[in-house]
Amino acid sequence: MKRRINRTITYIMAVFVLFFTAVSLLSGENVVSPRKTIRIGIIENAGSVNISCEGGFSVRDEKNNREMKLDSRKVYLVSARAGGIGINNKILGGSIRIYSLNDKNRLRVNGRKYRGDLRIALKRGKKLTVINKLGLEEYLYGVLPREISPEWPVEAMKTQAVVSRTYAARNMGKHNSKGYDLSATVFCQVYGGLQCEDERSNKAVDATEGEVIYYKGELISAVFHSTCGGFTEKSSNVWETNSSPGYLKCVRCPYCRKSPRYSWKKTIKKETIRKKLNKSGYKVGRIHKIKVAGRASFSKRAININVYHDAGKLSIPSNKFRIAVGADIVKSTMVKLKNYPDEIKYVGRGWGHGVGLCQWGAKGMAERGYKYLKIIRKYFPGTKINK
């Protein structure tokens, strides 16, 4: 009996699959395409959050599948409580879904508007994680204005749209263990929800809908940074891997000169550097001097940094050094160092790790009339763009 039911279910499913495949073939859609929805961790470790909606909305307790209508005129305090998630004075299970009853009415989290719906989960019995689930293209609407200025030329925005889409598609499930795909921070891609959307950048997303970058049939690792400073970098020189994929190599970039971070200077106290290194787990005593050890060909980026201190010598990959001291202080590894008694003077070029797309370079190319496909293939040589 059971087997017969299973067989029937399999049969019904097969009919469905055939039907939808036929429909999508007829409509000219790609049958095999990256997943169309994405889960973004927008808030983590919160004690409580305020939730409201522009119209009628609902909460579903995922424990017993019970649903409760919510009032559009109210702001609800959703909080971590002993034994579950509190919504005003009601206690629900450890995982709830909140959604708008009409797609036109948007949800608000702490006053910020978001597309799609929300999942709120109780972590370790005392903190809340808020996850925004929405369409991949809608997600990109909320990424673009955070990653580049919506005032930039259209072709630069289209470039960023394709690169950010590829990044998201390739990194789907990166934070599965936390219940979402990507975070909304610089560690993934910065995402600001509907609140930060701009008409111009939304158009750039629409104009490139579904387009992603491939290399030898695989989605690429679509990394990007603000300003390369003249040359992008081979990924192995930055992330200490044994080899670099063919599309992440050193590319000459004469296009980012207008970036305010094309060249910079910074003086940092040795004591500050010592404290920052210690905080990141590198045990160093009083610093005597800091020297570059090994430079990349072409770009001359520092590969390693030697820190001579009271208790010996610390040799550290320069990108790790940069992040430990502060990526907004030591802006890149394309640096020259000068040692003074108490401080180090940095003379540098560019901002960011320098691998993959140079955003200011893309802007410069767009201003010179290059189209986005050309720009992408400049910074990711040998790649193809497909839907």
In contact, 213 and 169? CB cutoff 8 Å: no
Q: Nearest distance from residue 245's CB to Zn ion, in Å?
A: 19
Q: How far lies 343's CA from each of 23, 96, 148, 269, in Å?
A: 67, 53, 34, 4
Contact 168, 182 (CB under 8 A): yes
Closest contact distance (angstroms) between CB of 335 and Zn ion is: 16
CB of 358 to Zn ion, least distance (A): 3
CB closer to Zn ion, 147 vs 197: 147
Q: Please, what is the minimum distance in Å from the beta carbon of residue 261 to Zn ion?
A: 10
350: left (phi over 0), alpha (psi -120 to 50) or beta: left
Query: What are the residues whose beta carbons fall under 8 Å from the beta carbon of 8, sequence distance 6 or more?
Result: none
Contacts with 11 (C-beta within 8 Å, 6 or more apart), sequence order: none
Nearer of residues 256 and 302 to Zn ion, judged by Cβ:
256
- Residues near 320 by Cβ (< 8 Å), separated by ≥ 6? none
Q: How far is CA 238 from CA 223, 295, 303, in A?
A: 12, 11, 7
Taking a C-beta distance cutoff of 8 angstroms, is the pair 376, 159 a contact?
yes
Q: Which amino acid is at 377?
A: R
200's tokens: 């111009």
Judged by the rule CB under 5 A, the positions of this chain that interact with Zn ion are 228, 253, 256, 358, 361
Closer to Zn ion by Cβ: residue 145 or 350: 350
Which whole-number Å values give the CA distances from 82 to 4, 68, 113, 122, in the listed order? 46, 20, 29, 10
Tokens 């469905």, located at residue: 16
Smallest separation (angstroms) from Zn ion to the CB of 146: 20
CB of 298 to Zn ion, least distance (A): 13
Q: Shortest approach of Zn ion to residue 346 CB, angstroms?
A: 19
* CA gap 27, 116 in Å, rounded: 25
Q: How far, in Å, CA of 130 to CA of 79, rounded?
A: 11
Closest CA to 261 of 159, 363, 186, 339: 363
List residues bridging with 182 in a β-sheet.
40
Q: Which residues of 109-124 are buried (b: 16+ CB within 10 A; e: fewer)?
A: beebbbbbbbbbbbee
Q: Which is nearer to Zn ion, 128 or 362 (CB)?
A: 362
Residue 148 beta carbon to Zn ion: minimum distance, rounded to whole angstroms: 14
Of the two residues 49 and 358, which places its CB atom closer to Zn ion in the complex?
Answer: 358
Instruction: Closer to Zn ion by CB, 28 or 369: give it.
Output: 369
Dist. CA 354–CA 375, nearest whole Å: 16
Pick the closer one to Zn ion by CB: 129 or 226: 226
Q: Which is nearer to Zn ion, 159 or 304 (CB)?
A: 159
Q: Residue 231 CB, nearest distance to Zn ion (Å)?
A: 8
Minimum distance, C-beta of residue 33 to Zn ion, in the bound complex (Å): 31
Pick the closer one to Zn ion by CB: 52 or 160: 160
Q: Residue 208 or 226: which CB sits closer to Zn ion?
A: 226
